[in-house]
Amino acid sequence: MKIATYNVNGLRSAISKGFLDWLTAANPDVICLQEIKSEASQLNLDDFKSRGYEPYLFSAQKKGYSGVAILTKIKADFVSVGMNHPEYDCEGRNIRADFGDITVLSTYFPSGTTGDIRQDFKMKFLADFQKYADELRKERPNLIICGDYNICHRAIDIHNPVSNAKSSGFLPEEREWMEQFLNSGYTDSFRHLNKEPKHYTWWSFRAGSREKNLGWRIDYVCIANELEARLKHAFILPEAKHSDHCPMMIELA
């Protein structure tokens, strides 16, 4: 089972840059998308269905903003949207699909880069998401949480940890949350199998950051520890350039 995650920074924009051809070539069984910035009525869903994918979208109420999706070649047993938190659900931040004993989430964690109000919103989201995930795991222990977490966990995950020490996405309280989240029963799939530095999933559009590989690793597929023995591969795909992010993918036995 191949599961991918990709913040597309506008699904219509990504499609215009060749996303669909990439999707066909990469051929994940399930792909979780974030920041789709689209509603179903604005897309040709047959673009996905003709490639074997059933699309499930959860759009933000605000047009052209946020939103998540799951595209799947495997028939889902159950799909639900939201976290039963109106303040997050109106922004289209979480969608869930169950496949047998596995549950996959596509989640778009808030960014705090626009100021204190959104940083406070982000920290509240992190606390509430932890509670949501804790409750879900009681029912569905084999949980896979794909998404743009908007957090670099450790210094190895960011190109310049010193100059970014006070930047949203690498703040001590965010990194502390990520640490305790993983310690609550999850494995960072990529870092579990790849210990080398300079692997990133997001680059600023400024100053040729991507060409210089001056990036941040903020996109994750975190798997419940119960699934760790089934994890065969976890890799980042920086050659996919339909967004300021790139996808990552895991393969489970």
**Residue 86 burial by Cβ neighbours in a 10 Å radius (0-12, 13-18, 19+):** exposed
Contacts of 18 (CB under 8 A, 6+ apart): 242
96-131 in b/e burial notation, b at 16+ Cβ within 10 A?
bbbbeebbbbbbbbbbbeeeeeebebbbebbeebee
Name the active-site residue from 29, 148, 188, 219: 148
| Residue 98 annotated among the catalytic residues of the structure | no
Residue showing tokens 């199998």: 193
Instruction: Give DSSP secondary structure letters for 202-244.
Output: EE-SGGGTTTTT-EE--EEEEEEGGGGGGEEEEEE-TT--SSS
Q: Minimal CA–CA distance to 1: which of 139, 146, 150, 107?
A: 146
CA 72 to chain centre: 15
Total residue length of the chain: 253
CA 215 to chain centre: 16
Neighbours of 203 (CB within 10 A): 23
DSSP state of 10: S
Instruction: Provide the annotated active-site residues.
Output: 148
